[in-house]
């Protein structure tokens, strides 16, 4: 049990550092743009491109099948630590773009390797508890990165932020080396072809309902992005607040994510990850349709958003643990494809969310459209449920 906890701690810490590369910039885009003598739109575009890198995750998903999960995680963090130093040494927009896009590439390689490691090493009956704890790294990254970035930006600029990220990555590498058991494949048993020759679609077709799992991730991330792309405008029009309201929402969203992750860890193994993923998404979908009517009170809106994102985060985290069993013979490929589906969902949500409001100007209509997308995802997870329960009946 002590060894199990130390492994989960090391994986959570390492993923927190990886997630910090995703979360450090968003609250401070204007300040970063001023520091780089660039437009806000340029910085936003760079961050969008970084997220878009996840689409190519299946291309690299086989790396941990070939070289081992732990070596890939360590190697990715090492490269990201070195790349961070470029941002620290060169305070220019092109260097910032290179570093942030490299973070995106690293994240899309790191996450499937970690998810596959958990799938390999943690029994399915305990996987919700383990994965719920590891997913605390997402909200934890926000709580660490946001104040640290703000403190360093205010006093010394952007370069020390990259130095701090590099140091965090070195510490994470040390934890992985010391606390996480190795899993490098024996050379005599490795028959995995080179990454460029891996037929990802052929691997996924071994279990066609893997595409239903990907559909669930696409729908939920798309719905979440439709909300994110419009919530600032909704709050501005409803409460005449911009910066203050966004600051409050950042705190509320971080707390909601933490609660959702803790719920999966606490009850997922007993209640069933498939139930959390399905019922959490159903209620969250209804919440998306109701939230636009909470425009009479900022406090009411915050309570509604908090509840909505507890359910949404719970559903997403539970689904990740569930999907590690959809294609157990090629977990890294499956989880890479899942990251790609999430990235496509974010891209779809950003395009559709902005366009839908431009065409209609109606937040209630956006809420209904978002609910419809979530419910499509619920249909997908219901199909996946049967496959996973057959493979791991203890989940029932």
Statement to judge: residues 166 and 263 lie in one domain: no
pLDDT in tens, 28-71: 777 888 889 988 778 877 887 887 787 777 777 677 777 888 99
Q: Does residue 192 form part of some domain?
A: no
Burial 363-385 (b: 16+ CB within 10 A, else e): beebbebbbebbebbbebbeebb
Total Cβ atoms within 10 A of residue 194: 8
Q: Does residue 194 form part of some domain?
A: no
First-to-final CA distance of the chain: 24
Q: Does residue 21 form part of some domain?
A: yes
CATH number reported for the structural domain that contains residue 319 in this entry: 1.20.1250.20
Statement to judge: residues 46 and 150 lie in one domain: yes
3-state helix, strand, coil in the chain (%, to 5): 85, 0, 15
83 touches 99 (CB < 8 A)? yes
User: pTM here?
Assistant: 0.73
pLDDT in tens, 347-388: 788 778 777 877 888 899 999 999 999 999 999 998 887 655
Is the pLDDT confidence value at 314 over 50?
yes
Q: Is 241 exposed, middle or buried (0-12, 13-18, 19+ CB in 10 A)?
A: middle
Q: Is the four-CA dihedral 68, 8, 73, 323 of positive or negative sign?
A: positive
* Domain count within the chain: 2
pLDDT in tens, 145-161: 888 888 888 888 899 99
261 touches 135 (CB < 8 A)? yes
Statement to judge: residues 171 and 262 lie in one domain: no
322 closest CA partner among 337, 336, 335: 335
Write 239-242 long-range contacts (CB < 8 A, 24+): 239/295, 239/298, 239/301, 241/298
Return the structure tokens found at 214: 């990907």
Provide the 8-state DSSP code for 182: P
Q: Does residue 196 form part of some domain?
A: no
């Amino acid at each position: 049990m002590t060894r199990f906890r130390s492994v989960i701690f090391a994986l959570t810490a390492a993923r927190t550092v990886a997630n910090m590369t995703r979360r450090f910039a968003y609250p401070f885009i204007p300040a970063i743009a001023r520091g780089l003598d660039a437009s806000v739109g340029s910085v936003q575009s760079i961050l969008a491109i970084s997220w878009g890198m996840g689409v190519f995750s299946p291309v690299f998903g086989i790396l941990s099948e070939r070289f081992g999960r732990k070596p890939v995680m360590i190697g990715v963090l090492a490269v990201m630590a070195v790349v961070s130093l470029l941002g620290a040494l060169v305070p220019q927009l092109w260097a910032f773009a290179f570093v942030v896009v490299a973070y995106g590439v690293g994240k899309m390689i790191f996450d499937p390797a970690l998810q596959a490691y958990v799938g390999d090493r943690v029994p399915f009956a305990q996987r919700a508890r383990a994965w719920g704890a590891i997913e605390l790294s997402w909200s934890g990254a926000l709580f660490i990165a946001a104040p640290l970035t703000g403190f360093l930006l205010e006093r010394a600029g952007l370069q020390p932020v990259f130095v701090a990220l590099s140091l965090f990555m070195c510490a994470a590498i040390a934890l992985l080396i010391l606390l996480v058991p190795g899993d490098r494949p024996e050379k005599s048993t490795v028959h995995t072809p080179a990454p460029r020759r891996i037929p990802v679609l052929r691997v996924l077709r071994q279990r066609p309902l893997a595409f239903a799992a990907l559909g669930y991730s696409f729908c939920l991330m798309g719905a979440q992005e439709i909300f994110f792309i419009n919530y600032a405008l909704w709050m501005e029009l409803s409460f005449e607040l911009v910066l203050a309201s966004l600051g409050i929402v950042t705190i509320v969203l971080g707390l909601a994510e933490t609660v959702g992750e803790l719920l999966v860890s606490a009850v997922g193994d007993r209640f069933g990850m498939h139930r959390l993923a399905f019922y959490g998404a159903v209620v969250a979908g209804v919440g998306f349709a109701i939230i636009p009517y909470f425009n009479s009170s900022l406090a009411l809106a915050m309570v509604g958003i908090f509840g909505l994102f507890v359910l949404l985060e719970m559903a997403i985290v539970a689904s990740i643990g569930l999907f590690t069993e959809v294609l157990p013979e090629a977990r890294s490929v499956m989880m890479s494809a899942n990251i790609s589906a999430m990235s496509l969902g974010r891209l779809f949500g950003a395009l559709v969310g902005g366009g839908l409001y431009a065409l209609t100007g109606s937040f209630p209509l956006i809420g209904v459209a978002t609910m419809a997308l979530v419910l499509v995802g619920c249909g997908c997870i219901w199909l996946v449920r049967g496959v996973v329960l057959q493979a791991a009946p203890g989940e029932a």
